[in-house]
């Protein structure tokens, strides 16, 4: 059980340093080479309230168990590589502060759902990236301007929100449909299609709308808003999916 009692008596605290706390992390462990089923393993970690879950995982890996495996890169919420389930919710470990969790209770950390677990907190991202590739996530344009392609602020505003995606998979792997149907494109792929479908400089809207007007496309969305709640960038994912549906019904973006 985690405790919220600060350590006392050391010279750093007397100088006004941030107090430390002991928290318990239950981490879902899985190693395909040891023949065991996935299991929970607990670690007692000394942390500061301003530390992030990623910092706690680093302490475990660097000081307690070097075999703990997870992804991370920039550690500043930009690369999206450390998406995981923390206390049952998809979050980025680098953006989740310990002080924002109930540290009187254990903190549960496990891999995101719907993708095969390779080891511990690492999942196979290939199906997720394949769905992203399938919607042609690049500008399709036949013109070759001498300089830049011009666009008004109003035109840009139609897709500005969906340019913020960092491909962390938090939205897609929070979707109940994706959990049960691995063929579903998923919210992230649709968000990235939206980014180009509504771009006035792009000529591939019809192609992308045809791709998403499929049994595994936008019509599989059940509008549960899990994806919007999970997005660490604050993208209105469900709204974007609804706008793509409307574009398909209209026959154009």
List, for residues 29-67, the tens digit of each pLDDT value. 999 999 899 999 999 999 998 999 999 999 999 999 999
Q: pLDDT tens for residues 137-176?
A: 999 999 888 889 999 999 999 999 999 999 999 999 999 9
Cα dihedral 82/52/172/207 (nearest 10): -70
Q: What angle do CA 53, 164, 147 make, to 5 degrees?
A: 140
Domain boundaries, the chain: 11-123, 126-250
Q: Given CA atoms 239, 240, 243, 248 in this order, what sign does their dihedral have? A: negative
- Verdict on whether the full-model pTM lies above 0.85: yes
**CB within 8 A of 189, min separation 6: which ones?**
131, 132, 134, 135, 172
Spatial strand order of the sheet with 20-29 comes to 39-48, 20-29, 107-110, 83-86, 89-92
Q: pLDDT tens for residues 211-244?
A: 999 989 999 999 999 999 999 999 999 999 999 9
Q: Given CA atoms 218, 196, 76, 51 in this order, what sign does their dihedral have? A: negative
Instruction: Report which of 158, 140, 137 is spatially closest to residue 253, judged by C-alpha positions.
Output: 158
CATH superfamily of 11-123: Beta-grasp domain (3.10.20.30)
Q: Please name the fold of domain 126-250.
A: Fumarate Reductase Iron-sulfur Protein; Chain B, domain 2 (1.10.1060)
| pLDDT level of residue 182 (50, 70, 90 thresholds) | confident
């Amino acid at each position: 059980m985690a405790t919220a009692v600060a350590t006392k008596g050391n010279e750093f605290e007397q100088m006004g340093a941030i107090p430390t706390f002991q928290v318990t992390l239950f981490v879902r462990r899985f190693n395909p080479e040891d023949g065991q089923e996935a299991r929970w393993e607990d670690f007692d970690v000394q942390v500061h309230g301003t530390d992030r879950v990623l910092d706690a995982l680093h302490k475990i890996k660097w000081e307690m168990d070097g075999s703990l495996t997870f992804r991370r890169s920039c550690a500043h919420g930009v690369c999206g590589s450390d998406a995981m389930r923390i206390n049952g919710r998809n979050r980025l470990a680098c953006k989740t502060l310990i002080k924002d969790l109930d540290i009187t209770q254990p903190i549960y950390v496990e891999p995101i759902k719907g993708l095969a677990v390779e080891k511990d907190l690492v999942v196979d991202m290939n199906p997720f990236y394949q769905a992203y590739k399938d919607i042609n996530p690049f500008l399709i344009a036949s013109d070759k301007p001498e300089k830049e392609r011009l666009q008004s602020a109003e035109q840009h505003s139609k897709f500005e929100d969906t340019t913020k995606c960092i491909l962390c998979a938090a939205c897609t792997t929070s979707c109940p449909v994706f959990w049960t149907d691995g063929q579903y494109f998923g919210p992230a792929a649709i968000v990235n299609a939206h980014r180009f479908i509504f771009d006035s400089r792009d000529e591939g809207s019809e192609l992308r709308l045809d791709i998403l007007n499929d049994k595994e496309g936008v019509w599989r969305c059940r509008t549960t808003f899990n994806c919007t709640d999970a997005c660490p960038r604050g993208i209105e994912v469900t709204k974007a999916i609804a706008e793509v549906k409307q574009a398909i019904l209209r026959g154009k973006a």
